[in-house]
Amino acid sequence: MTTKPKIPAIELKDLQFWYRAGAWQLSLPAVTLEHGQHLFIQGASGSGKTTLLNLLAGITAPSAGELWVQGHAMHQLSAAKRDKLRASQIGVVFQQLNLIPYLSVLDNVLLRATFAGQAAITLQPRAIDLLRALGLTDDLQRQRASALSVGQQQRVAIARALLTQPALLIADEPTSALDANNRDAFMQVLLTEADKCATTVIFVSHDQQLKRYFHFELSMADLAKGVVAC
Ligand SMILES: Nc1ncnc2c1ncn2[C@@H]1O[C@H](COP(=O)(O)OP(=O)(O)OP(=O)(O)O)[C@@H](O)[C@H]1O
């Protein structure tokens, strides 16, 4: 049995980020999130939700302060090292889904294995199972990604993010194009898969009905006030 190290999944201290000096700034005094916790974040448009997720995913670096993800000091790592960490340990589903339009649905999911340095052939059965659980039939799995609706593409993106059982899953409005039935199936698959491997989940949405699926909910205003731990 593998044991998780006793370090928080996420820890930030006096984290600050600005796109340019003197303009809007994200300031978060202190947050700690333990392994396996599922956090729902909400906030007004423009409050910095996507900016925070980009920092957690290592797409951007803090302007000041400390950000620790899985024990890695994101505030000190180069962009290349942050990319490597994301590929190996972090699953992301952003509003821009970044599917490769001319590849099949299944190949889009399997591409994640390649980026994470794992054998696609080994993970193919898991990819197929995840896609089926999300309501994407074998026939749809053979289609090009560009032939799918946005709601179907969101489900492909979550299957891709979950494929390699990431330590951390970050999702930005991943259900915006789903109807109620598909949304509930999506949440069940996402959180069941996350629980199987103690994946920490950080999920941003405007959809208040989704809160009930999570261990904790915080607003960007709560985070700015300095919530110490979830
Ligand atoms: N690339 C950028 N360059 C400059 N400013 C930006 C950039 N991206 C976002 N901003 C600004 O940063 C602030 C936070 O934006 P962000 O996208 O993080 O908010 P959000 O809470 O995710 O909004 P929404 O709910 O509308 O998606 C906004 O004032 C926005 O105008």
Residue nearest to atom 9 of ligand 1 (CA): 51
Å from CA of 128 to ligand 1 middle: 35
Looking at residues 6-16, what average pLDDT do you find?
Answer: 91
Looking at residues 119-146, what average pLDDT do you find?
Answer: 94
Looking at residues 11-32, what average pLDDT do you find?
Answer: 93
Strand partners, 15: 28
pLDDT at 68: 96
Show the domains of the chain with their CATH numbers: 36-60+79-219 (3.40.50.300)
Sheet strands (E) in the chain? 10-18, 25-33, 38-42, 64-69, 72-73, 90-93, 168-172, 200-204, 216-219
Residue bearing tokens 């999944």: 9
Closest approach atom of ligand 1 to CA 206: 25
pLDDT at 116 over 70: yes
State how far Cα 89 lies from the chain centre: 11
pLDDT at 150: 87
Q: Are 164 and 91 in contact (CB under 8 A)?
A: yes
pLDDT band at 185 (very low <50, low <70, confident <90, very high): confident
pLDDT at 95: 81
Cβ of 48 closer than 6 Å to ligand 1, yes or no, is yes
What global pTM score does this model have? 0.91
As a whole-number percent, the residues of the chain with pLDDT over 90 amount to 71
pLDDT at 178 over 90: no
Q: Record the tokens describing residue 169, joined without a space.
A: 């899953």
Cβ of 54 closer than 6 Å to ligand 1, yes or no, is no
Task: Give per-residue pLDDT as tens, 44-93.
Answer: 999 999 999 999 999 999 999 999 999 999 999 999 999 999 999 999 99
pLDDT band at 7 (very low <50, low <70, confident <90, very high): confident
Cβ of 221 closer than 6 Å to ligand 1, yes or no, is no
Looking at residues 138-165, what average pLDDT do you find?
Answer: 93
Q: Quick one: which of 205, 212, 155, 144 has its CA closest to 178?
A: 155
Ligand 1 pocket: which of 17, 28, 47 to mutate (most atoms <8 Å of CB)? 47
SS3 state of residue 193 = helix
Q: Record the tokens describing residue 202, joined without a space.
A: 């950080």
pLDDT band at 1 (very low <50, low <70, confident <90, very high): low
Q: Which residue type sits at 218?
A: L
Residue nearest to atom 13 of ligand 1 (CA): 46
Q: Give CA–CA dist 54/32, Å, rounded.
A: 17
pLDDT at 197: 83
Residue bearing tokens 């399997």: 110
Looking at residues 178-187, what average pLDDT do you find?
Answer: 85
Distance of CA 171 to CAs 5, 17, 95, Å?
24, 20, 8
Å from CA of 46 to ligand 1 middle: 5
pLDDT at 111: 94
Residue nearest to atom 30 of ligand 1 (CA): 46
